[in-house]
C-alpha cells in the first residue's frame, strides 16, 4: 500500500488547461497576429476628425452640419473631405497628425439662437490654415467668413 501512494504522488498530474492550450495555441497566436496587423494600425491612425476636442451635443450638431455638408447637388465631397484633401496636398508624404507641432483648434461660438460661428485653425511646423464659417442650424445654410473657407465651400459646391 505504501508503494502505491508513492507512485501516485510521483506522477505529475496533467492539467487539462495546459493540454487545451497546447492544441490551440497556434490558432490563438494567429488570431492575435491578424488583430495586431489589421486592427491596431486603424485605431492608431490620425486624422482631422480625431483631432477635434470634446464637444457638447449642441456643438457636435453644428460640426456635423458643417463637416457633412456636400453641396447643393449632393456631390459626394464633404467639407471634411475637402479640408483633409487640402491638408494632404500641403503635406503629401508626412504623417502630419503624429507631429508634436501639429495642433487643431476648433472654436464654436453662438451668434444668436440659430446661428453659430465655427473657427477651425490647423497649425503645423510649416504654417497654418484658418477657416471661419457661420452655420445656421435651422436652415443648415453655411456662409464663409474668409477666403480659405470660401474656397472649401466652392470646392464642395462645384465638385463633379
The residue with greater pLDDT, 131 or 43, is 131
Question: What percentage of residues in the chain have a pLDDT greater than 70?
Answer: 80
Report the distance separating Cα 93 and Cα 48, nearest Å.
Answer: 16
Mean pLDDT, to the nearest integer, of 2-9? 56
Q: Are 93 and 113 in contact (CB under 8 A)?
A: no
pLDDT beyond 80 at 49? no
Q: Are 78 and 86 in contact (CB under 8 A)?
A: no
Question: What percentage of residues in the chain have a pLDDT greater than 90?
Answer: 1
Mean pLDDT, to the nearest integer, of 96-110? 79
Would the CA dihedral through 89, 135, 66, 142 be positive or negative? negative
Q: What is the pLDDT confidence band of residue 141, given thresholds at 50, 70 and 90?
A: confident
Per-residue confidence (pLDDT) for residue 42, from 0 to 100:
55
Amino acid at each position: 500500500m505504501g508503494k502505491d501512494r508513492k507512485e501516485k504522488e510521483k506522477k505529475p498530474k496533467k492539467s487539462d488547461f495546459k493540454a487545451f492550450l497546447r492544441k490551440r495555441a497556434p490558432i490563438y497566436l494567429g488570431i492575435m497576429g491578424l488583430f495586431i496587423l489589421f486592427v491596431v494600425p486603424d485605431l492608431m491612425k490620425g486624422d482631422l476628425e480625431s483631432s477635434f476636442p470634446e464637444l457638447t451635443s449642441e456643438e457636435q450638431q453644428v460640426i456635423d452640419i458643417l463637416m457633412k455638408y456636400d453641396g447643393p447637388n449632393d456631390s459626394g465631397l464633404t467639407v471634411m473631405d475637402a479640408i483633409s484633401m487640402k491638408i494632404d496636398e500641403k503635406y503629401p508624404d508626412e504623417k502630419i497628425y503624429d507631429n508634436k507641432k501639429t495642433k487643431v483648434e476648433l472654436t464654436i461660438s453662438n451668434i444668436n439662437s440659430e446661428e453659430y460661428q465655427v473657427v477651425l485653425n490647423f497649425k503645423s511646423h510649416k504654417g497654418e490654415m484658418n477657416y471661419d464659417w457661420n452655420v445656421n442650424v435651422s436652415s443648415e445654410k453655411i456662409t464663409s467668413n474668409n477666403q480659405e473657407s470660401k474656397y472649401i465651400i466652392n470646392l464642395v459646391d462645384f465638385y463633379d
